Amino acid sequence: MSEFTVNSFKKGQPRWCPGCGDHFFLASFHKALAEIGVAPWNTAVISGIGCSSRLPHYMATYGMNTIHGRAAAIATGAKVANPELSVWQVSGDGDGLAIGGNHFIHANRRNININILLLNNRIYGLTKGQYSPTSPRGFVSKSSPYGTVEDPFRPAELCFGARGHFFARTVATDGPHTVEVLKEAYNHKGTTVTEILQNCVIFNNGTHDDVYDKAGRAKNAIYVRHGEKLVFGENKEFGLVQQGFGLKVVEIGKDGYTLDDVLVHDAHCEDNTLQLKLALMGNGDGFPVALGVIRDVEAPTYDECVSAQIEEVKNKKPYHNFQELLETNDIWEVK
Amino acid sequence: MTETLEVKELDQVVVRFSGDSGDGMQLAGNIFSTVSATVGNSISTFPDYPADIRAPQGSLTGVSGFQVHIGAGQVYTPGDQCDVLVCMNAAALKTQYRFAKPGAAIIIDTDSFGPKDLAKAEFKTEDYLGEMGIDPDRVIACPLTTMVKDCLAESGMEPKAILKCRNMFALGLVCWLFDRDIDIAFNFLREKFAKKPAIAESNIKVIQAGYDYGHNTHSNVAGVRRIETKEKKPGRYMDITGNKATAYGFIAAAEKAGLKLYLGSYPITPATDVLHELSKHKSLGVTTVQCEDEIAGCASSVGAAFAGALAVTSTSGPGICLKSEAMNLAVILELPLVVLDVQRGGPATGLPTKSEQTDLLQALFGRNGESPMPVMAAMSPTDCFDAAYEASKLALEHMTPVVLLTDAYVANGSGAFKLPNLAEYPAINPPYVPEELKGQWTPYMRAENGTRYWAIPGREGFENITAGIEKDSKTGAISTDPENHQLMTNLRKQKIENIEVPDLEVLGDKDDAELLIVGFGGTYGHLHAAMDEMRAAGRKVAMVHFRYINPLPKNAAEVLCKYPKVVVAEQNTGQLAAWLRMKVDGFCPAQYNEVKGQPFKVADLTAAFEALLEK
C-alpha cells in the first residue's frame, strides 16, 4: 500500500473552464500517483505551453511549466541527469505534436524512461480556437474558416513510426480506466505515450462525443487488455477477427463466427502491425475506438543505457578525476 | 659537413604547413609545435581548413593549412605571415603563398607539380614560380613523394598508406631547418601509435629521411636556424586546443562543485570538438546527449539543470539563434546553465570554419523581453580552461544562464598549457536552499545577493513548480500583477548587476599612454603583439582586454575615459564599441573593425593604430 494519498499530490485551485477535460484528467492523475506511491519529492511533472500545460501548477510535486513544444526535450535532460526522478511530461496536441513534434518522435526513438501524457482535444484552446495537427480534414476553426485542407496526425501512428514501445489511450471522463492506464504507463520502462481524449467545451465541444460518456463507450469503444479477447458491445456480442491483411468486426455466433475466432490482444508483441490497426480504429469507419494499453513492449531504455555505459567505462578507463585526466595527455616538463 | 653550417639564432619563426585536407598537415604541425614546446619555446598554432570535407584532390578549394608560431620569448599569435611555407601540392602553393613573408623559404614536393596538378591549381604555364613571382633561390624543391616511396619500399605497406606518410617527410625537413630534436617527435609518435607500432616506426623512418635530406642538401638552403628559449616558466605542460581546454574547464568545475556534468548538444562547426571531447570522459561521469536539434540541446540542458546538474550546451552562431528561447527560459526559471558559443563567420551559415566576433550583441540582447545574462569571452586557447571554469562558477553561484563566447580561431588554435592544480582553484558554492527554511520556503525566495535558492528535486519539503510564465515574487504562483512584474524584472536585472567580476588590468604604458587599445575575447594575442611592437618603436600605448562583458568590470568607465585616444578593435562592425558607448557616458572611441574570417594581422593593426596617433 502506498503511504501517499490524493491530497499528497494536490495543490491549488485549477483555473480551467468549467467542464474542461483537464479537470477530469487531473483528478485521475492525482489518484494514480497516490496509488503508484512514488514520493512527491521524487516526482517531476514537466509541461510545455497550452491549457493542459498548466497542469504542473496543480501538483504538489517538483515541476516545470516551460516553453511551447519543448517539454519532451526538457524532460529528457531532467531524466538523464537525475534517473531517480519519476518524470511525467504533459502536453496538448498542439504542444506535443505541432511545435514539439520533433522532440516527441525523438523521445520515442530514444526510449527514455519518461511518461508522455498527450491531452488531445483536437484544438488550440489557449490561443482561442485554431485547428491543431489532430483536427480532422475540413475542420472549421478561426484560422480555417473554410475548413482545413490538410490531414491530421494520428498520435499512435506517429508514436509507432518513431519506434515507440508503449502506447495507451483513455478518455478523460473515464476515471477508473485512466488510473489503470497511468499505472501501467508508470510500470513500463521506457517512453510511454498515453493519449487522453478530452473535450474542449469552448472551442471544440463534442469532439469525442462518441466515447465521452459511458453509454457511448459501451457502443463505440473496445477496451483492450493484454491476453484478453478483443470483444466489445453492450453485451460483449461483437469481436475482432483477422481477415486478410486487416481486421474485421464480427457478431459472435453469427455467420459461423465463434468466440474462438476472436483475436486475443497481444500488447507485448514486438511486431506492431496489428497493434497499429487497433490503434487506428474508430472515427466512423465501422470499428470501435480502442481504449487501454495497445502496445507495451520491453526494450533497453536510454537513461539506463547511459548510466550503464558510464559504469562500464569507469571500470575500463584508468582515470577517474580531473587530475588523472590531465595525466593521460602528452606532457613535457620545463625545468 | 656539419661544421660548415651557419647556425642563425632567431627570436621567433612561423611555419605554415599546407596541402590537401587529407595530407595530414595538422598532425605535422602539431608534432612540430610539441617538439618546440618541449624544449621550452612558446607556441601558438592556427589551423585554417576549408568547409568541404574532402574537396577533389589537388583542387584549390581543398587546401588546408596549419600555422605554427614558435618563439624564444612569449608569442601571442600564430603569426601574420610565415617564414617557411610547406606546399604539398600546386594548389597549396597557389592559395597559401599569400601567407608567406617576402623572402620566406618555400618547400615544395615537385612530384605534385606535374601538368595535371598545375592545371587543377589553375596555373597557366609550367613556370609556376614565375607566375607567382617567386625567386627560385628561396625554394627547396624536392621529389618528396618519390623519396617517401623509396624510403618505405620494403615496409610491405600499401601504396596508399605510404603516401599518407608524406607529411612526416616535410616535418623531418622542417625539423632539420630549425635544429629540432627529432627524438621528441619519435617519442610522440610511439605514444600516439602505441597500439600500431608498425605505423609509428614507418612514420619515424620518414621523419628521419626528411631530416637527413635537409642535412645532406644543406648548401641549397639559407642556413640552419635555432630558436633558443629565453624565458622558461618551469612546470609540466601539454599542448591544448581551445575547444579541449573549454571541455576540461567544464569537467574541472563540475568536479569542484560536486555535481554531475551534463552536455546537451548538436553537432556544429566549429564547436563540435567540445561534444567530442566531453563524450570521451564517461569514466569521470560526464553525461553527453547528442540531441535531435539545437533547441533540444539547450532545452534538455535546462531540464538537467532543474534536476541538479552542471548543465552546459555548446554551439556556434546559428545554434544560438535556435537556443535563444530555452536560454530565456533559464533566465526566468533562474537556473544555472552555461551556453558556449564558438563564434564563426555569419550571418546564417556564413563562414562555418572561419572566425569572427559577431555574436556579441546577440549574446547580450538576442532574446525577447528583459533578459539579462552574464556574458564572458575567452582570450586564448589556454584561457578557455579558466573561462569555462569561471562561467560555470558564475552560473552555479548566481543561478543564471551564462554565455561563454570563444571563436573558431581560439577554439582550433592551441598553446602550451601549464597543467592546472584543481585544489588551487576557487571553490564553487551553489546557493542550495538551507534545510532550516523547510516549511517557509517558496521558490523565488532569495539569498542576500539577490540569487534565488536552488531546490533540487529529491529533497522532501521543497517541492515546487517553476515556470516560464511570470510568478509572484513571494509565493511563486503564476502572477500577472503589474507591480509584481516590475519587481521581478528589477530583481532579475539587479541580480546580474550584483555579480562581482575582476577589474580591468591595464597593460603597457598605463600612466602615460597616448592610445588605449580595447578588445575582447580571442583577439587578445594580436592586440598584445601590436601593442608590444608599437612600444618597442617608442610609442606610448596601453591596452585593456574584456573577458567579462556583462556585467562590465567596475573600473571600466574610469579606465576607458582616462587616455587621450581610445580605439576599440574587434572582428565585427563595432559591437563591443556599441555596448561600451551604451554603458559608459560620453565614451566615444575610434574603431578598428574587420570581418574577413581570418585572425587580425599585427602589421595591419599597428599601421591603423599609428595612423590614429598621427591624427
Q: What is the pLDDT of residues B432-446, one digit of tens each?
A: 999 999 989 999 999
Rg, C-alpha atoms of chain A: 22
C-alpha cell at A126: 489557449
Cβ of B467 within 8 Å of Cβ of A316? The answer is no
Of A14, A311, A19, A28, whose CA–CA distance to A186 is shortest?
A28
Would the pLDDT of A120 be above 90?
A: yes
In angstroms, rounded to a whole number, what is the distance separating the alpha carbons of residues A10 and A14? 10
Examine the domain organization and report whether B342 and B403 are in the same domain. Answer: yes
User: Do the strands B515-520 and B541-546 form a parallel or antiparallel pair, or are they unpaired?
Assistant: parallel
Q: Give residue B37's pLDDT.
A: 87
The arithmetic mean of pLDDT across residues A276-291, rounded, is: 94
**CATH fold for the domain made of A6-212:** Rossmann fold (3.40.50)
In angstroms, rounded to a whole number, what is the distance separating the alpha carbons of residues B65 and B380? 20
In angstroms, rounded to a whole number, what is the distance separating the alpha carbons of residues A197 and A217? 12
Domain-embedded: residue B326: yes
Q: Give residue A7's pLDDT.
A: 97
The distance of A167 to chain B (nearest Cα, Å) reads 22
Cβ of B296 within 8 Å of Cβ of A70? The answer is yes
In angstroms, rounded to a whole number, what is the distance separating the alpha carbons of residues B89 and B97? 12
Examine the domain organization and report whether B465 and B559 are in the same domain. Answer: no
**Contact list, B293 vs chain A (CB under 8 Å):** 102
In angstroms, rounded to a whole number, what is the distance separating the alpha carbons of residues B3 and B21? 39
Q: Which residue among B481, B499, B517 closes a domain? A: B499
Task: With residue A177 as reference, give the H or E element that holds it.
Answer: helix A175-187
C-alpha cell at B401: 544562464
Share of chain B above pLDDT 70, in %: 96
Mutation pick from B294, B306, B328 vs chain A, by most beta carbons of A within 10 Å, is B306
Model confidence band, residue B7 (pLDDT cutoffs 50, 70, 90): low
Task: With residue B357 as reference, give the H or E element that holds it.
Answer: none
Mutation pick from B283, B322, B433 vs chain A, by most beta carbons of A within 10 Å, is B283
Of B360, B303, B296, B359, whose CA–CA distance to B330 is shortest?
B303
Task: With residue B182 as reference, give the H or E element that holds it.
Answer: helix B182-192
CATH number, domain at B261? 3.40.50.970
Count residue pairs from A and B with Cβ separation < 8 A.
Answer: 209
The arithmetic mean of pLDDT across residues A56-70, rounded, is: 97
* For residue A300, cis peptide bond before it (omega within 30 degrees of 0): no
Examine the domain organization and report whether B105 and B16 are in the same domain. Answer: yes
Examine the domain organization and report whether B464 and B511 are in the same domain. Answer: no
Examine the domain organization and report whether B257 and B360 are in the same domain. Answer: yes
Examine the domain organization and report whether B329 and B253 are in the same domain. Answer: yes
What number of CA atoms fall less than 13 Å from residue B387's CA on the CB side?
35
Let me know how many helices (H) and strands (E) chain A has, helices first.
12, 14
> What's the mean pLDDT when you consider all of chain B?
92
Burial of residue B262 (CB within 10 Å: 0-12, 13-18, 19+) is buried
Would the pLDDT of B224 be above 90?
A: no
Q: Give residue B227's pLDDT.
A: 60
Examine the domain organization and report whether B188 and B43 are in the same domain. Answer: yes
CB A78 within 8 A of CB B304: yes
DSSP per position, B549-607: EESPPTTHHHHHTSSSEEEEEESSSSHHHHHHHHHSTT---EEEE--SSS---HHHHHH
Would the pLDDT of B181 be above 80?
A: yes
C-alpha cell at A210: 462518441
Cβ of A103 within 8 Å of Cβ of B264? The answer is no
CB A262 within 8 A of CB A240: yes
Amino acid found at B84: V
C-alpha cell at A325: 585526466
Task: With residue A257 as reference, give the H or E element that holds it.
Answer: none
Evaluate the CA torsion angle A22, A27, A33, A39 in order and state its sign. positive
Domain-embedded: residue B488: yes
Mutation pick from A3, A62, A110 vs chain B, by most beta carbons of B within 10 Å, is A62
Of B249, B514, B466, B492, whose CA–CA distance to B376 is shortest?
B249
Least confident range from A196-210, B2-16, B133-147, B481-495: namely B2-16
Q: Which residue among B424, B456, B477 closes a domain? A: B424
Closest A-chain CA to B417: A331
Which domain covers residue B456, as residue numbers? 434-499
Closest B-chain CA to A319: B283
Domain-embedded: residue B446: yes
Domain-embedded: residue B339: yes
Examine the domain organization and report whether B412 and B460 are in the same domain. Answer: no
Q: Which of A65, A82, A329 sits opposite B308 (nearest CB)?
A: A82
In angstroms, rounded to a whole number, what is the distance separating the alpha carbons of residues A114 and A75? 7
Least confident range from A128-142, B54-68, B392-406: namely B54-68
CB B84 within 8 A of CB B16: yes
Q: Is the minimum CB–CB distance between B329 and chain A shorter than 8 Å?
A: yes
DSSP B354: S
Examine the domain organization and report whether B571 and B522 are in the same domain. Answer: yes
Tens digits of residue pLDDT in B278-295 = 999 999 999 999 999 999
Would the pLDDT of B218 be above 70?
A: no
**CA A27 distance to own-chain centroid:** 17
Examine the domain organization and report whether B370 and B281 are in the same domain. Answer: yes
DSSP A260: G
Closest B-chain CA to A38: B458
> Between residues 285 and 314 of chain B, which touch chain A (CB distance below 8 Å)?
285, 287, 289, 291-293, 295-296, 299-309, 311
**CA B595 distance to own-chain centroid:** 17
Residues A1-4: contacts with CB under 8 Å, at least 24 apart: A1/A37, A2/A34, A2/A35, A2/A36, A2/A37, A3/A37, A4/A33, A4/A34, A4/A37, A4/A39, A4/A40
Q: Give residue B191's pLDDT.
A: 87
Cβ neighbours for B76, distance < 8 A, ≥ 6 positions apart: B44, B380, B524, B525, B526, B528, B529, B532
The arithmetic mean of pLDDT across residues B454-468, rounded, is: 96
CATH number, domain at B63? 3.40.920.10
The arithmetic mean of pLDDT across residues A245-271, rounded, is: 96
Please report which residue ranges of B399-547 form alpha helices under DSSP H.
408-412, 482-497, 524-536
Domain-embedded: residue B232: no
Model confidence band, residue B220 (pLDDT cutoffs 50, 70, 90): very low
Cβ of B300 within 8 Å of Cβ of A77? The answer is yes
Would the pLDDT of B5 be above 70?
A: no
Phi and psi torsions of A168, nearest 5° = -135, 160
**Contact list, B460 vs chain A (CB under 8 Å):** 39, 41
Number of folded domains that form chain B: 4
Q: What angle do CA B336, B442, B481 make, to 5 degrees?
A: 95
Q: Which residue among B165, B194, B226 closes a domain? A: B226
Domain-embedded: residue B205: yes
Tens digits of residue pLDDT in B539-560 = 999 999 999 999 999 999 999 9
Would the pLDDT of A114 be above 60?
A: yes
Q: Give residue B217's pLDDT.
A: 80
Q: Is the ipTM of this complex over 0.90?
A: yes
Looking at the DSSP assignment, which residues form a beta bridge with residue B58? none
Would the pLDDT of B4 be above 70?
A: no
User: Do the strands B401-407 and B375-377 form a parallel or antiparallel pair, or are they unpaired?
Assistant: parallel
**Contact list, A333 vs chain B (CB under 8 Å):** 234-237
> Between residues 331 and 350 of chain B, which touch chain A (CB distance below 8 Å)?
333
In angstroms, rounded to a whole number, what is the distance separating the alpha carbons of residues B301 and B270? 20
| Three-class DSSP category at A270 | coil
Examine the domain organization and report whether B206 and B309 are in the same domain. Answer: no
Q: Give residue A75's pLDDT.
A: 98
Q: Give residue B6's pLDDT.
A: 53
Would the pLDDT of B333 be above 60?
A: yes
Closest A-chain CA to B294: A73
Would the pLDDT of A161 be above 50?
A: yes
Q: What is the pTM of this model?
A: 0.91
Examine the domain organization and report whether B158 and B243 are in the same domain. Answer: no
Of B211, B161, B166, whose CA–CA distance to B186 is shortest?
B211
The arithmetic mean of pLDDT across residues B411-430, rounded, is: 95
Would the pLDDT of B2 be above 50?
A: no
CATH number, domain at B571? 3.40.50.920
Tens digits of residue pLDDT in A3-46 = 999 999 999 999 999 999 999 999 999 999 999 999 999 999 99
What number of CA atoms fall less than 13 Å from residue A151's CA on the CB side?
4
DSSP A96: I
Closest B-chain CA to A61: B463
Would the pLDDT of A244 be above 70?
A: yes
Q: Give residue B225's pLDDT.
A: 59
